[in-house]
């Protein structure tokens, strides 16, 4: 073990014993080595800097191909945005562009209580990459990961296939209603003392659900109670943050209600520009820890994440970061985001109305109020139908594509269907399942 | 094991037993699941498509924030490039944009013999991500990875820290000259029959070396001989492809001299736009297998890579792919790349001249003819000096940043230093080491 690794592991153990106890074997050995990026950072600003293997004009500017930059409308730093063309073309720092990290943190903390600590977010290559870094740090062979079912299928690949962790699921809905104790129930099946992870995803995928204020209190209280029995890492997967359509449903992340509340509950926040800025192809995500910037725990985890990120993808995408930094600096961006939310709210209302008209002996619709999706459940005469069979039938006979979610759901992504098309889509779905049950 | 996983593993075993024998435990269990991206691909073009969780106008176009797109100068598909604004903002297919994959393959194969097979390249998030996917597929606990020393330090993080593989090193230089048998020597220390990996990196980092035609023959012949004794995966890390400055030194990838030459030697090619198009911040890399597009082995490996990529980063960067696709479609791009190469060739000549004038009792310079770097070796009076101590001294006293490479080298990145500055940089280096030995 290097001196540096021993030092950060000791720092983490002293500053947050629960986080140290939750580390996977890979998480324990991860550290940002004193290699080229470390040495390059030390050489920044020197008169002669021959450290980095990127092609520059010799003064830190890019030597760019005109055919490549023709697709970009970026000037120098400060022209139309804090990060200009040169930095969009050259390597990003491993932890991300500092201007972007600060701007994202400010945006994250708009509704955060002052007394809750959060780190300067580390930039990841999209949301999933934030989750896979969490998996590398904290999951691993046999580690239990609690999740409410149905859940986004990629959790299985990210946590189980890659690291060997095991998912422990509990039903998200009970008697057709959201169960705020689902994660705590899943955790309750584990032997006391065994460290565990829990995945908290609101607005949810595939459910399109965000809890009410009283449900939120139950979610938080039940997880805090679970932390009485074990070191617990709660991953707040805030992919769809802000996309809430129903009156009275809080839009903020539950991270702010969990971070710093219990010594054995470690909340981490995974969010990004993917959905919040509708920048799906840009791959800009963020990973945030519940520790103050510069604290020993934050510094230790930052070193570990930088080591893992460097080993897996080299550095995050500078080009997309420059675009996101520019967008966040624009005075109109929040109005633009709100306009987008209103478009989706219109779709949500149209879909809710269409689903309310379905024959309850064919299809049920669990409550949904937010995000990009709605679930329909095969019930009554369609109970027992394989949703994959329904999906194939809709593709083949009704020119309609939905996603099947075993064992009894289909997911409708209203975010990618025009409002006017949603009644007809639901009509085809209803006709399709009716055909299959004769 | 899912049916799909069993099928692709059987296909790989039948089509390329050596590749199947080389898979890591993670590589064996990796498969692209029939989840959302798979189901979304099946729904493409349907009248009603509610599969994907990305926000669109309902007809497949992006709903973009003006503050975000202000930094892009992209129109519709075909306007100035094959991939337009909508696809730059929305999710890329997991395997990459088809136009870009085809264009990159055409460019890769410019000097390839027709009879050598190569797959349609899979798009990765930069070069390192291609290497980490290879590590996931083929490395793992205890697996031997042969490498010539000194080597790029990040190989250690990517292969050893992440997967538990072990590096087996042999000196790249012998008596001050490149040793084309270095990798074969490292492999020769392993028990017969044990599967192994070898990392082949020309132009090299940190050496800045590409072999002569006769050395290339020796490299290839010695690796083909090594494959007589074990299944051998040769990773051609072609990060610096094309950046060759000395007359008579071949510029092509050694992948074309190894692929398909021996049933137990599996060559894979890792390359990208990072250095080839000087697009460091874009994170566009490629991973290519030595099997024909659509062959059972190519299809099986593509499924595995897509599964691993989806689990780790979701999808590759669409925005950067659009910019690279546009650049490759430009009639002037190869001239622009050649102009960049000539700038670097000028720096290489200046650095070579400056190093030739150094006191041979202080510094030696192993041969270098290509790439972004040169090594200097601490010899004579400086033999035994810690290069890290030299690095710190140069930073503190000479306003000069270089990279230390244990146990006796410093790396000069001439790619990021102006030609006119290189003589002074070498002068400071020489003065600095002289001060340290009194």
Domain boundary among B329, B357, B389: B329
Task: Give contacts of B 114-173 with A, CB under 8 A.
Answer: 125-129, 132, 136, 153-154, 156-158, 161-162
Query: For A392-428, what is each residue's pLDDT tens digit?
Result: 999 999 999 999 999 999 999 999 999 999 999 999 9
- Round to whole Å and give the CA distance between A137 and A130: 11
Any idea what DSSP says for residue A80? S
Asked if the model's pLDDT at residue A80 lies above 90, the reply is no
Decide if A333 and B65 are in contact by the 8 Å CB cutoff: yes
Domain boundary among B311, B329, B347: B329
Instruction: Assess whether A81 and A99 both reside in one domain.
Output: no
Chain A touched by B295 (CB under 8 Å): no
Look up the CATH number of the domain holding residue B302: 3.40.640.10
Judging contacts by C-beta atoms under 8 Å, the chain B residues touching residue A63 are: 278, 340, 343
| 3-class SS of residue A238 | coil
Instruction: Look at chain A and report how many structural domains it folds into.
Output: 3
Instruction: Assess whether A310 and A362 both reside in one domain.
Output: no
Assess if residue B390 is contained within a domain.
yes
Q: Which helix (H) or strand (E) holds B124?
A: strand B122-124
Does the reported pTM lie above 0.80?
yes
Instruction: Assess whether A417 and A322 both reside in one domain.
Output: no
Cross-chain CB nearest to A153 (options B36, B313, B404): B36
Query: For B225-257, what is each residue's pLDDT tens digit?
Result: 999 999 999 999 999 999 999 999 999 999 999
Decide if B278 and A63 are in contact by the 8 Å CB cutoff: yes
Q: What is the mean pLDDT of each run of 10 residues along chain B (438 residues)?
A: 92 98 97 88 92 92 96 94 96 97 98 96 98 98 97 96 96 95 97 98 98 98 98 98 97 97 98 98 98 98 98 98 98 98 98 97 97 97 96 96 95 96 97 95
Decide if A312 and B128 are in contact by the 8 Å CB cutoff: yes
Asked if the model's pLDDT at residue A438 lies above 90, the reply is no
Query: For A24-41, what is each residue's pLDDT tens digit?
Result: 999 999 999 888 888 998
Rounded to the nearest angstrom, the minimum Cα separation between B371 and chain A is 9
A vs B, Cβ pairs < 8 A, gives: 419
Give the pLDDT score at A111.
Answer: 82
Decide if A313 and B47 are in contact by the 8 Å CB cutoff: no
Instruction: Assess whether B354 and B420 both reside in one domain.
Output: yes
Q: For A329, which residue in chain B has the nearest alpha carbon?
A: B67
Judging contacts by C-beta atoms under 8 Å, the chain A residues touching residue B43 are: 395, 401-402
Instruction: Assess whether B325 and B417 both reside in one domain.
Output: no
Instruction: Assess whether A320 and A397 both reside in one domain.
Output: no
Instruction: Assess whether A250 and A176 both reside in one domain.
Output: yes
Judging contacts by C-beta atoms under 8 Å, the chain A residues touching residue B421 are: 48, 58
Assess if residue B266 is contained within a domain.
yes
Mean of pLDDT values over A134-138: 98
Which is higher by pLDDT, A89 or B39?
A: A89
Judging contacts by C-beta atoms under 8 Å, the chain A residues touching residue B60 are: 416
Instruction: Assess whether A197 and A255 both reside in one domain.
Output: yes
Q: For A314, which residue in chain B has the nearest alpha carbon?
A: B128
Cβ atoms of A283 and B96 closer than 8 Å = no
Instruction: Assess whether A229 and A159 both reside in one domain.
Output: yes
Instruction: Assess whether B292 and B380 both reside in one domain.
Output: no
Query: For A117-128, what is each residue's pLDDT tens digit?
Result: 999 999 999 999
Q: How confident is the model at residue A356 (pLDDT cuts 50, 70, 90)?
A: very high
Chain A touched by B76 (CB under 8 Å): no
Mean of pLDDT values over A48-54: 92
Assess if residue A211 is contained within a domain.
yes
Mean of pLDDT values over A276-281: 98
Instruction: Assess whether B279 and B348 both reside in one domain.
Output: no
Look up the CATH number of the domain holding residue A389: 3.90.1150.10
Q: How confident is the model at residue A2 (pLDDT cuts 50, 70, 90)?
A: confident
| 3-class SS of residue A292 | coil
Cross-chain CB nearest to B277 (options A30, A68, A278): A68
Q: Is this prediction's ipTM beyond 0.90?
A: yes
Decide if A402 and B161 are in contact by the 8 Å CB cutoff: no
Q: For B414, which residue in chain A has the nearest alpha carbon?
A: A50
Judging contacts by C-beta atoms under 8 Å, the chain B residues touching residue A54 are: 280, 372, 415-416
Residue among B54, B431, B363, B258 nearest A127 (CA): B54
Cross-chain CB nearest to A319 (options B132, B281, B340): B281
Domain boundary among A310, A329, A348: A329
Q: Tokens at residue A319, please?
A: 């080009």
Mean of pLDDT values over A173-195: 96
Instruction: Assess whether A298 and A356 both reside in one domain.
Output: no
Chain A touched by B43 (CB under 8 Å): yes
Query: For A245-267, what is each residue's pLDDT tens digit?
Result: 999 999 999 999 999 999 999 99
Give the pLDDT score at B35.
Answer: 84
Chain centroid offset of residue B329 CA: 23
Domain range for A375 is 334-436
Assess if residue A58 is contained within a domain.
no
Chain A touched by B35 (CB under 8 Å): yes
Mean of pLDDT values over A315-340: 98
Query: For B25-58, what is each residue's pLDDT tens digit?
Result: 999 999 998 888 889 989 998 999 999 999 999 9
Give the pLDDT score at A107.
Answer: 98
Assess if residue A57 is contained within a domain.
no
- Collect all residues with Cβ–Cβ distance below 8 Å to A283 and sequence separation of at least 6: A125, A126, A129, A274, A316, A317, A320, B125, B283, B313, B314, B315, B316, B317, B319
Any idea what DSSP says for residue A115? T
Assess if residue B306 is contained within a domain.
yes
Give the pLDDT score at B38.
Answer: 87
- Round to whole Å and give the CA distance between A251 and A213: 10
Task: Give contacts of B 227-266 with A, CB under 8 A.
Answer: none
Helical packing angle, B3-15 and B296-313, nearest 10°: 130
């Amino acid at each position: 073990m290097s001196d540096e690794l021993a030092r950060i592991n000791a720092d983490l153990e002293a500053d947050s014993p629960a986080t140290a106890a939750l580390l996977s074997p890979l998480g324990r050995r991860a550290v940002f080595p004193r290699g080229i990026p470390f040495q390059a950072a030390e050489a920044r600003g020197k008169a002669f800097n021959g450290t980095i293997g990127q092609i520059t004009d010799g003064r830190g500017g890019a030597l760019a191909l005109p055919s490549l930059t023709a697709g970009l409308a970026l000037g120098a730093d400060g022209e139309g945005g804090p990060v200009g063309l040169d930095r969009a073309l050259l390597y990003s720092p491993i932890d991300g562009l500092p201007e972007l990290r600060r701007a994202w943190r400010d945006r994250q903390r708009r509704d955060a209580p002052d007394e809750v600590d959060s780190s300067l977010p580390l930039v990841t290559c999209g949301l999933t990459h934030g989750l896979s870094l969490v998996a590398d740090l904290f999951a691993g062979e046999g580690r239990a990961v609690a999740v409410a079912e149905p859940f986004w299928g990629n959790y299985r690949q990210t946590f189980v296939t890659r690291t060997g962790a095991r998912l422990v699921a509990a039903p998200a809905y009970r008697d057709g209603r959201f169960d705020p104790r689902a994660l705590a129930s899943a955790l309750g099946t584990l032997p006391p003392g065994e460290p565990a992870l829990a995945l908290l995803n609101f607005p949810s995928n595939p459910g399109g659900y965000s809890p009410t204020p009283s449900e939120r209190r139950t979610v938080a209280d039940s997880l805090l109670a679970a932390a009485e029995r074990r070191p617990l890492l709660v991953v707040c997967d805030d992919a769809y943050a802000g996309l809430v359509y129903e009156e009275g449903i809080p839009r903020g992340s539950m991270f702010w209600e969990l971070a710093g509340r219990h010594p054995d509950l470690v909340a981490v926040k995974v969010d990004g520009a993917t959905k919040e800025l509708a920048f799906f192809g840009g791959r800009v995500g963020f990973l945030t820890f519940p520790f103050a910037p510069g604290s020993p725990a934050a510094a230790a985890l930052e070193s570990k994440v930088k080591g893992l990120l460097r080993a897996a993808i080299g550095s995050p995408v500078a080009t997309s970061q420059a675009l996101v930094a520019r967008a966040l600096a624009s005075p109109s961006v929040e109005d633009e985001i709100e306009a987008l939310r209103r478009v989706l709210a219109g779709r949500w209302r149209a879909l809710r109305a269409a689903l309310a008209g379905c024959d309850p002996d064919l299809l049920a619709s669990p409550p949904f109020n937010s995000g990009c999706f709605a679930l329909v459940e095969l019930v009554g005469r369609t109970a027992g139908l394989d949703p994959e069979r329904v999906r194939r039938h809709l593709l083949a006979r009704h020119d309609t594509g939905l996603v099947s979610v075993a064992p009894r759901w289909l997911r409708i992504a209203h975010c990618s269907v025009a409002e006017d098309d949603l009644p007809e889509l639901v009509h085809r779905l209803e006709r399709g399942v009716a055909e299959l049950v004769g």
